Amino acid sequence: MKKILKVIVFLLILFLLLMIASYIVSPKNNGNLSPDKHIDNASGPLAEKENSIDALVIGDSESFAAISPLEIYKNYGYTMYVSGTSGQYLYDSYNYFLKTLTKQKLKVLILETDAIYRKIPISYNFRFWMGEFIPVFHYHNRWKQMTMQDFKMEMAYNYTDTFKGYDFSLNINPATNHNYMEYTEETEKIDKINKYYLDLIKKKCDENDISFILVSTPSTVNWNYRRHNGIKHYSRQNKIKYLDLNIDNKAMIDWSKDTRDMGDHLNYYGAYKVSNYLGNYLNKLDILEDHRGNDYYSSWDNALKPYQDEVKKANIN
């Protein structure tokens, strides 16, 4: 019995020490979460004013390369933020969605569908949960950057991306595979674990009266008709809106100049087209309000000037 008690006491002390270490090494502001700027950017909704974001975009790098919230705000006044990260798994997508709901009352959630076909390794779930509950496992290398403030401060969300999560690029590297959407009746099935998280996202949207929209942005590298059929089947089965911009080239993408890396991701020229198409689509749904000129949403108005300074370099229109 004494041995069991000793083991229990040892484990409790170990757990307490790990929690103290976790508190100390954890970043103290969301602008310093990772060397990857997109991870910092993705937490931006928590630094925006409460209930100032109407639409959230989640997904992998296809999302932050193809959808520009400020392009949509400029034309329609809808406040949108992209919490996209490179190689984002649906588990991450769901987690970003849940965290955003603690600060924002969303009306629309857009999931870029490429992440749906990224299989989640079993080991990733374990590592993620360990990092969430005992952060020292996630931030153990951060000791080199620590200051005395790390021993005193609470976590603060005070960083938000100026371009609201969009990754601006004028790089042009043409795609060569223009026939990537050859018709087929074959379907690429959605992995069971990914379907589980999709169902969780759908359920949370229903519970919060959020319009859930699946969007496949143009990509010659990551998309095909088999995947289109898989998402189309799931969306119909679950009564979810689905917009595939690869079908019939709805956004009028010119693969000779609208991609930054041979069709994998769009550049600004492509994102301009996708964002305008998506803004018009949302406008027809008539569920979002025009916030332009409203002082409460000044974060978007203030961001327009630096954004338009970058846009001028593109020489569009």
CB of 83 closer than 8 Å to CB of 45 = yes
CB of 58 closer than 8 Å to CB of 202 = no
Residue type, 263: G
Dihedral pair phi/psi, residue 280, rounded to 5°: -65, -40
Q: Average pLDDT in the 16-25 region?
A: 54
Give me the residue spans of the domains in the chain.
35-124+157-312
Q: Average pLDDT in the 11-20 region?
A: 59
> Could you count the other beta carbons within 10 Å of the beta carbon of residue 174?
14
Determine the Cα–Cα distance for residues 120 and 164; give it in Å rounded to an integer.
27
Strand partners, 71: none
Least Cα distance to 83 among 119, 122, 49, 53 occurs for 53
Determine the Cα–Cα distance for residues 269 and 314; give it in Å rounded to an integer.
8
CB of 46 closer than 8 Å to CB of 81 = no
**What's the whole-number average pLDDT of the chain?**
88
Determine the Cα–Cα distance for residues 150 and 26; give it in Å rounded to an integer.
8
What pLDDT sits at residue 215? 99
Using only the alpha carbons of the chain, give its radius of gyration.
Answer: 21
What pLDDT sits at residue 14? 58
56 in the Ramachandran plot: left (φ > 0), alpha (ψ -120 to 50) or beta?
beta
What pLDDT sits at residue 41? 87
263 in the Ramachandran plot: left (φ > 0), alpha (ψ -120 to 50) or beta?
left
pTM of the complete model: 0.85
* C-alpha angle 273-274-279 in degrees, rounded to nearest 5: 100
Per-residue pLDDT tens digits for 261-299: 999 999 999 999 999 999 999 999 999 999 999 999 999
Per-residue pLDDT tens digits for 54-83: 999 999 999 999 999 999 999 999 999 999
Q: Answer whether residue 52 shows pLDDT above 70.
A: yes
Those residues whose C-beta lies under 8 Å from the C-beta of residue 188, and which sit 6 or more positions away, are: 117, 224, 226, 227, 229, 230
Q: Answer whether residue 29 shows pLDDT above 90.
A: no
Specify whether domain 35-124+157-312 bears CATH 3.40.1710.10: no
Those residues whose C-beta lies under 8 Å from the C-beta of residue 290, and which sit 6 or more positions away, are: 76, 77, 78
Q: Average pLDDT in the 181-192 region?
A: 97
Per-residue pLDDT tens digits for 136-167: 445 444 444 555 455 455 667 888 999 999 99
User: CA of 218: how far to CAs of 3, 49, 114, 251, in Å?
Assistant: 62, 32, 10, 8
User: CA of 57: how far to CAs of 12, 62, 182, 196, 311, in Å?
Assistant: 41, 11, 28, 19, 21
